[in-house]
Amino acid sequence: MTAWLEQARYALERGDRSRSFTAENPTAAPGDGGRASSILGAGRKGAPCITIPAGGTVTLAEAAGAGEIRHIWCTVTHHTEAVGFVLRDLVLRAYWDGSDTPSAEVPLGDLFCNGNGQRSLVTSSQVVVAPTSGMNAYFRMPFRDGARITIENQHPVDVEGFFYQIDWIEIPDPATVSPLRFHAEFRRENPTRLAHDYALVDDIVGRGVFLGSYLTIVALERYWWGEGEMKFFIDGDTDHPTICGTGTEDYYGGAWAFQDRLSSETEPEVLTFSAPYVGYPMYVTRDQSHQAVYATAMAPAHGMYRWHEPDPIYFHHDLRVTLQQIGQVGPDLVERADDVSSVAYWYQESVGNTGHPFPSRDQRRPR
């Protein structure tokens, strides 16, 4: 609390102003919120949400000058999911400092650690997804010369009932704003290639800090899938990384295949969990989407996250992050090919993306 109050004191002395983009105040203008009328009268919940037309892009936030986004909340009306995987079909993009190239480009669900087009509860320091799909992000997103956040609807129908609020700080002196810009990049390989490490990101050039990642794996083969090591190739590393983990579930804070007990006599129960910096919130073995006529069997789907707030990964020239696709059958380690997707989150002293092509809607469709 002391640190929070000290930050507040500094912000007040600097002259920061609190602002918010919503459906009722799309320009975040002072004193301009809640003006729309409803059957209850003026200023009584007249425009709480928007419709995003099929194939259309809507600007959710556009700020001039300097500032910092502190919180994004949004949700989508449930019935929209009955005609497809809306959480994969909506694409959020963020642009900083007048750039025409997005620094963040991610399917809406995956940005909030809800992969495979499915909902899951998340309770972490950076992302909180509450019942029922109230999606919150607390990534700090500074900018010195304008910011723009858009959402594109690649769904086959209009998305009605998209609710959102983007809270930010207007900062009078651009020189006091951090030079680091928020980046997020989505990738998918379906399936991965045998003995070829999956790259969460491999084209980062410059100086910055890696914040974390969200990973989904749909297991396409039997037996244990998570022996692959997460590797961080930092500042010129070539064949071997500076940082290398011991296994996939280990990197995401778990151990021993996320099992509740270790026993050869009983079937081990796999437990999900959600904590401030690490979590495994998704474990799905049956199709629970509105697409299923019956709850038919499916390849097990897994989703996990890690935030490097207490253990930051700094880079000064370049960064590449990869994951091995290695499993285990009995005592033997084996190369695997699974359906893998990810979001990498980082900050660096430049804007724009890495140049990696963003997957099309067909390429993102959940298995």
Residue of higher predicted confidence among 299 and 12: 12
- Least confident span in 77-86, 114-123, 321-330: 77-86
Closest Cα to residue 70, out of 14, 11, 118?
11
Q: Would you state the pLDDT for residue 37?
A: 86
pLDDT per residue as tens digits for the range 161-214: 999 999 999 999 999 999 999 999 999 999 999 999 999 999 899 999 999 999
41-59: average pLDDT: 94
Residue 117, helix vs strand vs coil: coil
Task: Give me the percent of the chain exceeding a pLDDT of 70.
Answer: 93
CA distance 167 to 148: 13
SS3 per-residue string spanning 268-300: CCECCEECCCEEEEEEEEECCCCCCCCCCEEEE
Q: Which of 189-210 are b and which e, b meaning 16 or more Cβ less than 10 Å from the residue's Cβ?
A: bbebeeeebbbbbbebeebbeb
For 40, how many CA atoms within 13 A lie in the half-sphere containing its CB?
A: 8
Cα–Cα distance, 94 to 338 (Å, whole number)? 30
CA 195 to chain centre: 27
The string of pLDDT tens digits covering residues 228-286 is 999 999 999 999 999 999 999 999 999 999 988 765 556 668 889 999 999 999 998 87
Write down the pLDDT at residue 68. 98
pLDDT band at 77 (very low <50, low <70, confident <90, very high): confident
Residue 50 pLDDT more than 60?
yes
pLDDT of residue 288: 61
pLDDT band for 80, please (50, 70, 90 cuts).
Answer: low
Nearest alpha carbon to residue 58 among 42, 74, 79, 80: 74
CB 187 within 8 A of CB 199: yes
Q: Domains, the chain, ranges and CATH?
A: 2-37+45-364 (2.60.120.1390)
CA–CA distance, 77 with 90 (Å, rounded to integer): 13
Residue 293 has pLDDT above 60, yes or no: no
Alpha-carbon gap, residue 338 to 272, rounded angstroms: 20
What are 161's two structure tokens? 């009932």
Inform me whether the pLDDT recorded for 79 exceeds 70.
no
In this predicted structure, the answer to whether residue 314 has a pLDDT above a threshold of 90 is yes
Alpha carbon distance 310, 10 (integer Å)? 23
Omega within 30 of 0 (cis) for the link into 276: no
pLDDT of residue 304: 98
pLDDT at 55 over 90: yes
Question: In a 3-state reduction of DSSP, which class is residue 218?
Answer: strand
pLDDT tens-place string over residues 117-174? 999 999 999 999 999 889 999 999 999 999 999 999 999 999 999 999 999 999 999 9
Q: How far apart are CA 94 and CA 116, in angstroms?
A: 22
Considering all CA atoms of the chain, what is the largest pairwise distance in Å, rounded to the nearest integer?
Answer: 70
> For position 275, what pLDDT does the model report?
97
Q: Give CA–CA dist 159/161, Å, rounded.
A: 7
